[in-house]
Homo-oligomer: A and B are copies of this chain.
């Protein structure tokens, strides 16, 4: 049998079963956003995430800065999703020996900007050559006094997300149409340098605007395109500190709302009811989706890589986040805009080619 016949989730389940209960210092092992091990009176959180060329990124429309920035962000998102504070990063880079050193410099610019943003330190890693395609992997260590697992959701808890969904997936679709890297980071840096000189910001903005217009045949304004691209290319992980004390379960939305909500429900052994009217959609997503002729709600439900947090909290708590539904006993349903109930299943990205 081949991997493509069993899929990522089933392989993960096999590995999890094989390596269950190895030591009593392991509080959370394989299968959550990060592992948790006992460490004095705090808990050590550890996560690892790969980015593989041709799978996670395409150099024909991603800059090396963006790859470095995102590699850090996706790992930070896993530590945040456990309620932790990220601290130490290790990087493993396998690259073709013909890679330009300027590429690597810009990659590390992205890593550096991201670790500064999150207060993380790079402490080690490994360098290797590769045959042709690049393969990048990061491990991030964090700490927490109280970790939030996927498995703590209780009947009656409310379900929340931390921001609009579908923007990243829409950004990716636009990028595939634009078919070239958009160095949003340099636009950003230029804008910052010129903070007090309004006409220079204006000039840069006009430049980006012209680029968008030309590339998308004027169908969408730069004001719409830029935030969607940014969400995909320069994702920032969400720090849960404002509501973490109330969260009963949490996961980050990396593969899509429905698949990640299903994972949370699986682990918590509960159901969920969400309301399509409550799913937060940005105005930019609505406008771009209309231009592209696709359903914005579909992107919000099944599009991956938003890296917003999805969590549950008791119904009686005042939580600073966007309420999208409630935990139920077992039924997993979405109430659509006409009030009709539809049962949902785990839709979203899965490696090795299986969708379930």
Contact = CB atoms under 8 A, between A and B. Distances in A.
- Looking at A22, A56, A102, the one whose CB has the most chain B CB atoms below 10 A away is A22
B127 A6 contact: no
Contacts of A102: 1
Given A15-B108, A39-B39, A46-B90, A55 B130 contact: yes
A115 B55 CA distance: 30
A54 to B, nearest CB: 4
A56 to B, nearest CB: 7
A141 interface: yes
Interface stretch (A93-101, A159-167, A176-184, A271-279): A93-101
B30 A123 contact: yes
A303 to B, nearest CB: 18
Interface stretch (A132-140, A211-219, A241-249, A292-300): A132-140
A198 interface: no
A49 interface: yes
The complex is assembled from copies of this chain, and their number is: 2
A55 B121 contact: no
Interface string A235-279: 000000000000000000000000000000000000000000000
A2 interface: yes
Interface string A73-110: 00000000000000110111011111111101000100
Interface residues of A, number: 72
A3 interface: yes
A23 B66 CA distance: 25
Contacts of A112: 18-19
Given A15-B108, A29-B121, A139-B139, 6 more contacts: A3-B100, A3-B104, A19-B121, A22-B121, A48-B92, A129-B352
15 contacts: A2-B98, A2-B101, A3-B97, A4-B97, A6-B101, A19-B112, A35-B90, A47-B90, A49-B92, A52-B130, A55-B128, A95-B352, A97-B353, A126-B137, A128-B351
Interface of A: 1-6, 8, 11-12, 15, 18-19, 22-23, 25-26, 29-30, 34-35, 37, 39-40, 44, 46-50, 52-56, 87-88, 90-92, 94-102, 104, 108, 112, 115, 121-133, 135, 137, 139, 141, 351-353
